[in-house]
């Protein structure tokens, strides 16, 4: 593992890391929001300032796809529908409406990008 920006090592039972097959770290464009599917989940991806962030693809307010939005100058995700903003590092709703964007831990293993997921709820 070359890089990890998730310090939580106490992952719950069933937690697993999944490699993204669609891209590598070096193939990701800076400051571009990209939606992928990984292990049955829709996940938003952002590479910015040499870090990769993973978050729920849908806005926690009303479910609009966040990757159709944009970034503000501070790198926060702006939802295209009602313009609520979210910090991709921790999901904080920085415009203060009280929502929380779910975020996923990310590891870079060389050029590979791995995302930590819980097993699907059945």
Binding site for ligand FES (CB under 6 A): 59, 61-62, 64, 79, 81-82, 84
Contacts 24+ apart (CB under 8 A), 63-72: 65/35, 66/33, 66/101, 67/33, 67/34, 67/35, 68/33, 69/33, 70/33, 71/31, 71/33, 71/46
Write phi, then psi, for 67 (nearest 5 degrees): -75, 0
Kindly state the smallest distance separating residue 66's Cβ from ligand FES, in Å. Answer: 7
Would you call 67 helix, strand, or coil by DSSP? Answer: helix
- Shortest distance, position 42 Cβ to ligand FES, whole Å: 15
Residues 116, 6 contacting (CB under 8 angstroms): yes
Q: Which is nearer to ligand FES, 56 or 117 (CB)?
A: 56
Helix, strand and coil in the chain, % to nearest 5: 0, 40, 55
> Closest CB to ligand FES among 60 and 105?
60
Q: Please state the closest distance from residue 87 (CB atom) to ligand FES, in A.
A: 14
How far apart are CB 61 and ligand FES at their closest, in Å?
3
Indicate the residue among 22 and 82 with the shorter CB distance to ligand FES. Answer: 82
**Which CB atom, from 65 or from 116, has the smaller least distance to ligand FES?**
65
């Amino acid at each position: 593992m070359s890089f990890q920006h998730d310090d939580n090592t106490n992952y719950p039972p069933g937690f697993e890391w999944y490699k993204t097959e669609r891209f590598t770290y070096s193939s990701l464009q800076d400051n571009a929001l990209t939606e992928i599917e990984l292990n049955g989940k829709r996940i938003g991806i952002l590479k910015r300032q040499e870090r990769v962030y993973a978050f729920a693809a849908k806005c926690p307010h009303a479910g609009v796809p966040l990757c159709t939005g944009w970034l503000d100058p501070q790198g926060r995700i702006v939802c295209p529908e009602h313009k609520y903003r979210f910090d991709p590092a921790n999901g904080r709703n920085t415009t203060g409406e009280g929502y929380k964007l779910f975020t996923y831990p990310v590891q870079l293993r060389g050029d590979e990008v791995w995302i930590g997921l819980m097993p699907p709820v059945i």
